[in-house]
Amino acid sequence: MTDVRRMKANARERNRMHGLNDALECLRKIVPCYSKTQKLSKIETLRLAKNYIWALSEVLRSGKAPDLMSFVQALCKGLSQPTTNLVAGCLQLNPRTFLPEQTPDLPVHLPPAGAATYPGHYSYQSPGLTAGLPSPPYGTMEPSHIFHQVKGQPYGPLEPFFDGVLVSDGPAFDPPLSPPLSINGNFSSFKHEAAAAADYDKSFSFSVHYGGAGGAGGHPAVYGGGGPNPRCSELQVDGLMGFDGHTHHERMMNAQLNAIFHDS
């Protein structure tokens, strides 16, 4: 191969890998626990994404709001200890509470009671939960990032699962960097849980939210203060990274999910 052809091939390969990395960066922002300062490695991003998809599939399959412990356990399956700690840190979880066999003697550093906090989201408190914990600042993840807020109820049916597990008091290191994704779904509308659903919205209303910039729950750094991320064009085309909440893609997803749940 001539030098010119080789150089052109190298440039193409570089470009291709940049595209791959851009897509991976988009994936990092979609999976739970996105942090600009503590980036997940490529392999950990893929593992976490796989676990996230699996966990959400299980939620859809079972039609029930899962408990937080099971969900986080599923998220952390196969992840390295530092990544597990990061996920735990994002959720204000003590890894020992959901991975007892893995981390039997982890030191726990919980924030002092009454410390300042960002209203409405849970943040991680330094120092790290374990010796292997990456340095702060950590990413943060609202409970609603995983599950949803039911009408008129701050964190809906999952709120009890956060009791004694999550710590909502404590200084925040970062505004939430993960897209404040929430899956709006009233799992309690199934027949066997009809009673519990009495106070909830009876109609299924699934939607995936990527909140706009601004406010403590916003995403200004990632989304450039309201503009789309040019690196995620393939997602924008489909509307997944939209700012207005209800894109075509999202409506399609809602329709499909609603169909699934109404058929069941």
Nearer to DNA, 135 or 153 (CB): 135
Peptide bond connecting 137 to the previous residue in cis, omega within 30 degrees of 0: yes
Minimum CB distance to DNA, residue 41 (Å) = 4
Instruction: Write out the residues near DNA by the rule CB under 7 A.
Output: 1, 5-14, 16-18, 21, 39, 41-44, 80, 134-135
For residue 247, the 8-state DSSP code is: -
State both tokens at 158.
Answer: 């999952």
* DSSP letter, residue 215: S
Q: Give me the least distance between CB of 87 and DNA, in Å please.
A: 15
User: Residue 182 in contact with residue 211, Cβ under 8 Å?
Assistant: no
CB of 127 to DNA, least distance (A): 12
For DNA, which is the closer residue by CB, 8 or 61? 8
Cβ(96)–Cβ(106) under 8 Å? yes
Residue 139 or 217: which CB sits closer to DNA? 139
Looking up tokens 């393939």, which residue turns up? 234
Q: How many CA atoms lie within 13 A of 159 on its CB side?
A: 11
Of 42 and 96, nearer to DNA (C-beta) is 42
DSSP 8-state symbol, 190: S
* Closer residue to DNA, CB minimum distance, 5 or 192: 5
CB of 240 to DNA, least distance (A): 20
Smallest gap, in angstroms, from Cβ of residue 98 to DNA?
21
Which tokens hold the place of 228? 């789309």
CB-based contact 187:64 (threshold 8 Å): yes
CB of 125 to DNA, least distance (A): 18
Q: Where are the alpha helices (DSSP H) in the chain?
A: 3-30, 42-62, 68-76, 81-90, 95-98, 143-146, 159-162, 220-223, 233-238, 248-263
Choose between 42 and 109: whose C-beta lies nearer to DNA: 42
CB 112 within 8 A of CB 167: no
